[in-house]
Amino acid sequence: MPSPVGNRPLILRYALLAIGWLSVVLGVIGIFIPVLPTTPFLLLAAACFARSSPRFYQWLVEHPRLGPWISDYLSGNGIPLKGKVYAIGLMWASILLSCYLVPLPWARGFMLTSAVLVTVYILRQKTLRKP
């Protein structure tokens, strides 16, 4: 039985790899710059790698510095409070700026609805409490 990764079109695999690596870079930058969220970018990278490259996925989740950010979420331990705050805050800032710049009411409605749903999803996730 072929792996699900092998069934994906090559252009899709390359796109997922590019998004995954961009997310890793942004996540690493987020470790040092407080306004950039680390956890959501690393989770996005893990999702992209899981669908495009088992080798890179394994590397990321087993990485000594980056892996714990992902494994806590994947094992059900939750998302750090700082990650939740940054993810929700930056998402709403970008959505509100987009709503200001985009004059189409249907687009604004779509963006605001998406932001509300993602906010609810993030808030419903368990909050990781580090000892």
Q: What is the pLDDT of residues 79-131, one digit of tens each?
A: 888 878 888 888 898 889 999 999 999 999 999 998 899 889 889 988 887 65
Q: Is 28 exposed, middle or buried (0-12, 13-18, 19+ CB in 10 A)?
A: middle
Q: Which residue has the higher pLDDT, 2 or 30?
A: 30
pLDDT digits 0-9 by tens, 10-63: 899 999 999 999 999 998 988 887 667 777 888 899 999 999 999 999 999 999
Asked whether residue 2 carries a pLDDT value surpassing 50, the answer given is no
pLDDT at position 57: 95
What would the mean pLDDT of 66-80 be, rounded to a whole number?
A: 82
pLDDT at position 64: 93
Measuring CA to CA, which residue among 6, 72, 17 is closest to residue 39?
72
Helix (H) or strand (E) holding 127: strand 127-128
Contact predicate 74/33, CB 8 Å = no
Beta pairing partners, 127? 79
How many other C-beta atoms can be found within 10 angstroms of the C-beta atom of residue 38? Answer: 23
Residue type, 108: R
Contact predicate 16/57, CB 8 Å = no
CA separation, residue 90 to residues 48, 97, 130 (Å): 21, 11, 23
Asked whether residue 66 carries a pLDDT value surpassing 80, the answer given is yes
